[in-house]
Structures are given as C-alpha cells and as structure tokens.
Amino acid sequence: MKSTWSGGGADVGVVYQVYPRSFQDSTGDGEGDLRGILARLDHVRDLGADALWTSPINVSPFADGGYDVADYTAVDPRFGTMADLDALIAGTHERGMKLLLDLVPCHTSIEHPWFRDHPERYIWSPTDGPANNWLASFGGGAWSPDPGGRGWYLHSFYPQQPDLDWHNPAVASAFAQVLGFWRERGVDGFRLDAIDRLRKDRELRDEPPAAHPPRLPEQPELDRLEHTRSRDQPDVGAALAALRAGAGDDAFLVGEAYVPSDRLGRYLEHLDRCFCFELLHADWRPGPLREALSRAPERAAWVLSNHDHPRLPNRVGAANARAAALLLLTLPGTAVVYQGDELGMADGPGRTPPAPPDDRFGRDPYRHPMAWDTARNGSFTTGDPWLAVVRPSGGSVAEQERDPGSMLHLYRDLIALRRTLGPGLEVLDSRENVLLVRRGEHLVALNVGDEPEPAPAAGELLRHTHGPARVGDTLAPGEGFIARA
C-alpha cells in the first residue's frame, strides 16, 4: 500500500513504550514516575531504541488508566512536575533519542473543564435518550445522560470519557494549541490514541447489522453490528490534517487506528506510521502470520504486545517468544517494544483479592512493574508497588545483563542488526511451518510449528534466536535465524 505523507519522522525504527506507573518509582509511593523514567533511560538507550513513548502523563482522574484526560497541558502530580518532564525531554535528547507523548484526541475526561464550559465541543443526542444503536468499546450503549441534566452525550469508551465533536472547528483549534505547547517544550512527536473515532456520521444514523465477522477482534457484544457510522469515516483526514498542522511537519506521528491494514491509507496521508493490528492478533501459525505481513502498509508500526493486550509469552507461548522478537525486530517500518518484552516478561496475576482490580476491563495483568535486579520489589520501588513486580523467567535486568544468552541480549543484537537491513519485505514460499521472509540481502526464517523442520538454505548466519551457534540441519519449534540470503 502506497501513501503520500513524507514527513520528517521516518528515521524512527524502534520505539520503546513505557507505562509510567510501572517503570520506576523514585519517591517510594509504589507508583512509577517521570524521575524514575529519567533514572532508567540508559537501559532504553543501551537497548538501541530510537524513541521513548510514554503512555499518558497528563492530569487525569484515572477512570481509564490516564486515557481520560482532564488537562492536556499539565503533568499529573502522581508522575511529578513539568520540571521533571523537561528533565526527561533533555535526558532523552542527550542520549540521542526522541520523546513521544501519548495524545488522546477522541475524548476527554468528564472532569475536563471543556465538558463544563464548552459543551458544544462534544457530541450530544438530539433526543432525550440515545440517538442511535451505537455501542461502546468496553460494552453497553455508547450514550449516557449528562449528570448536569443537559441531555445525552456520546462516549466511544467509558461513560467518564465523552467524545469530542471533530466536526467543530474549535476542537481542531484547541488541539493545535495543545500540540504546539508540547512541541515548544521539546517533545518530538505523539502516539495518537483511537484516531479512527475522530469523525462520526454527521446524521448519527444507526449502525447496520453485521453481515460477517469482524476482521479485527471486538468484544462479543459489538460483533452483531457493522461499525460503519461510529468510526473510520471517509472524512477522517480533515481531523488528521489539523493534528499534523498543529504538530508540525517534522513531528513523528504514529496513529492507533483500529481498522484493517488495507484501510490505513487515509490515515497515512497525514501520519508517519500506523499500527498494524493484524500481526498483533494473528495466531502463531504460518497462514495467519503470512497474511498479516502481506497485507501491511509499507509504513506500518509493528506491535506484538502493549498495555492493552497480553504479553508475548502469553500470546504466542513462552517457547515462541524469541522467534516473535526476531520477527518483530526484522520487519521494515517501526517496531514498538513494550517495556519488559526485552526480558521475556509474562503477564502477572493482577491485584490480589479482596483488593478490587485497578482496571475494570481486566488489563492489570499486562501492566505489572519492571524487575530491575534481585532486591526487594526488583528495585522498582522502596514502598509497596501498586501491582506486584513480576520477575521474568530469564531473570531481572541486572541478571540478564550478565548472561549473553539472555532475551535482553537477543533484543539488543536484533535492534543493532535491523539498522543494516534494506527496505522492502517479501514473504517467501516455504515449508508449511516455516515462515520465511526476505529483507533485501537478508533472510529471516522461523519455525512456527510444533515439530522440527528442515532449516532453509542460507548464507552467513548473523543471529540465531538461541545464541550464536551455527544453523544446523533443522529448526526446532520456536527457533529461527537471520542470515545473508
């Protein structure tokens, strides 16, 4: 898929995602913060990342983990101060990396002053009740009554997250000011949340019944409707153009549009990258993997786990986590590494009953803190962590540093290697359970089956999933390599 945007962010090959509450605590309150991220920046630099992306650090009541923003131009005190963010920006740049912030343009918190003072910036039902049959992504109807008695408002997610009306020019103007504010402080770009929801059908018509299963997984309740009116509208480019204008041509913009890859063209006309979700959801089998790779746009942002989805060992199986890393980090475009992936970190247990879950949608297991060493709480905090620290099977960061065969060293080696790979991606014909991908002069081979397979012919071995050893006659399940073609 070709696209027209040719902005200045194309050099971002690897983005490291930090979930701020779970990276490093500097105060002993049990939650990570900006000073903590700054203290651990060398880890991200040594990994080889080009950019650091932080999940939202704005003021928020945390009804949805910070994705319900109450002030777009202020730092939530739980994470520190604006001075702390300035120090993080400077520290990132000193290490040769970019800093990307998470921007949430689809909706605000219900506690944002705009909802009180500028109701015209939101989407309201023209009747005393729901305007249509639209559903919220987290379940239930997408319309709720205003606590102040002003009618019913639309929310694509939780009721605490009223949707903004991107047909109103005042919304675009307000976000241009937000983007300009952060750019002036030195922020290099943004991950744009839920951008397929920016434009809705102006007439607020009902969604039609679904004629076939969704191409990307949805909550079961949503499967009964075809979501052609509440998201992914043909005129979404007008909203994206406004975001690009506010950020500037040299900002790196990566979009979260939860749509099939063949519909990303209208987003990539204005953005540097868009997430390719087919690979995230693909079964770890040759057919689905080949299909996901073949459908992707040339400027995909590849992700295999994040704060919303199970971690790699839980998604593809612990035995395949190294092969998944090899695949992710040898694909063209941008690879996004979620904190802890480089250690082989698996899902945690969430909160221990009778404590209620922090995230009501059940995503706590994907958000556990990092284990930096073997000290109490992995040196994540000197207090009681908000979620238990999960120790990866291969050990903490400090333990894996000392082990050249560790997952951490595999990630470092692959990130260094990806800089030598040429453009393009060709999925080759191969034995049924061997995934074979060509990147110019390089060949990537993975056994994604359950039985040993003959190793394909290749030239000089550059990296094996399980060490520097030569490729033998066979690849065991979960093994792979990158070599000269």
User: What CATH number is given to the structural domain containing 433?
Assistant: 2.60.40.1180
Nearest CA-CA partner of 100 in 51, 67, 38: 51
Domain with residue 374: its CATH number is 3.20.20.80
Q: Where are the alpha helices (DSSP H) in 8-155?
A: 34-39, 41-47, 82-94, 113-117
- Quick one: average pLDDT of 36-59? 98
Q: How confident is the model at residue 435 (pLDDT cuts 50, 70, 90)?
A: very high
438 and 405 part of one domain? no
Q: Which residue in the list 64, 76, 256, 278 is annotated as catalytic?
A: 256
Is-cis flag, bond preceding 354, omega within 30? yes
Q: How confident is the model at residue 471 (pLDDT cuts 50, 70, 90)?
A: low
Catalytic site includes residue 193: yes
Structural domain of 471: 426-484
pLDDT at 325: 98
Q: Which residue in the list 68, 163, 193, 413 is annotated as catalytic?
A: 193
Decide if 141 is inside a domain: no
Decide if 229 is inside a domain: yes
pLDDT digits (tens, 9 = 90+) for 64-107: 999 999 999 999 999 999 999 999 999 999 999 999 999 999 99
346 and 479 part of one domain? no
Q: How confident is the model at residue 5 (pLDDT cuts 50, 70, 90)?
A: low
Q: Is the pLDDT of residue 422 over 90?
A: no
Distance CA 187, CA 260 (A): 29
406 and 432 part of one domain? no
Decide if 356 is inside a domain: yes
Decide if 162 is inside a domain: no
Predicted TM-score (pTM) of this structure: 0.97
Provide the greatest CA pair distance for the chain.
72
432 and 414 part of one domain? no
Q: How confident is the model at residue 4 (pLDDT cuts 50, 70, 90)?
A: low
Choosing from 387, 418, 449, the residue where a domain stops is: 418
pLDDT at 444: 96
- Quick one: average pLDDT of 321-325? 98
99 and 222 part of one domain? yes
In DSSP notation, 169-195 reads HHHHHHHHHHHHHHHHTT--EEEETTG
Q: How confident is the model at residue 3 (pLDDT cuts 50, 70, 90)?
A: very low
Distance CA 157, CA 330 (A): 34
Nearest CA-CA partner of 322 in 413, 418, 402: 413
Q: Is the pLDDT of residue 10 over 60?
A: no
Q: 3-state class of 21 per DSSP? A: helix
Q: Is-contact 366 374, C-beta < 8 A?
A: no
- Quick one: average pLDDT of 383-403? 97
Decide if 146 is inside a domain: no
pLDDT at 9: 52
In 143-272, DSSP assigns E strands to 143-145, 152-154, 189-192, 252-255
- Quick one: average pLDDT of 328-356? 96
91 and 193 part of one domain? yes
Q: Is the pLDDT of residue 2 over 50?
A: no
- Give every CB contact of residue 399 below 8 A, 6+ residues apart in sequence: 373, 374, 406
Q: Where are the alpha helices (DSSP H) in 271-339?
A: 277-281, 286-295, 312-316, 321-328
Type of residue found at 384: D
- Quick one: average pLDDT of 371-394? 97
437 and 401 part of one domain? no
Q: Is the pLDDT of residue 441 over 80?
A: yes
- Give every CB contact of residue 157 below 8 A, 6+ residues apart in sequence: 64, 67, 107, 136, 137, 138, 194
Decide if 158 is inside a domain: no
CB atoms within 10 A of CB 226: 13
Q: Is the pLDDT of residue 25 over 80?
A: yes
Choosing from 363, 390, 418, the residue where a domain stops is: 418
Q: Is the pLDDT of residue 11 over 80?
A: no
Residues in a beta bridge with 427 = 437
* Mean pLDDT across the chain: 95
Q: Is the pLDDT of residue 346 over 50?
A: yes
360 and 227 part of one domain? yes
Q: Is the pLDDT of residue 458 over 60?
A: yes
171 and 43 part of one domain? yes
Rounded to 5°, angle at Cα 10 from 4 and 12: 150
Choosing from 396, 418, 440, the residue where a domain stops is: 418
Rounded to 5°, angle at Cα 289 from 288 and 295: 90
Q: Are strands 426-427 and 58-59 parallel, antiparallel or unpaired?
A: unpaired
Percent of the chain clearing pLDDT 90 (strictly above): 93
CB atoms within 10 A of CB 102: 21
pLDDT digits (tens, 9 = 90+) for 183-211: 999 999 999 999 999 999 999 999 999 99
Decide which of 6 and 451 is more confident. Answer: 451
188 and 253 part of one domain? yes
pLDDT at 349: 96
pLDDT digits (tens, 9 = 90+) for 158-177: 999 999 999 999 999 999 99
R_g (Cα) of the chain, nearest Å? 22
pLDDT at 467: 82
Catalytic site includes residue 207: no
Decide if 60 is inside a domain: yes
Decide if 90 is inside a domain: yes
Distance CA 421, CA 332 (A): 8
38 and 184 part of one domain? yes
- Tell me the two tokens of residue 153: 């408002």
**Number of compact structural domains in the chain:** 2
258 and 392 part of one domain? yes
Q: Is the pLDDT of residue 253 over 80?
A: yes
pLDDT at 454: 93
Percent of the chain clearing pLDDT 70 (strictly above): 97
Contacts of 207-211 with C-beta under 8 Å, sequence gap 24+, read 207/132, 207/133, 207/134, 207/135
pLDDT digits (tens, 9 = 90+) for 113-146: 999 999 999 999 999 999 999 999 999 999 999 9
pLDDT at 431: 78
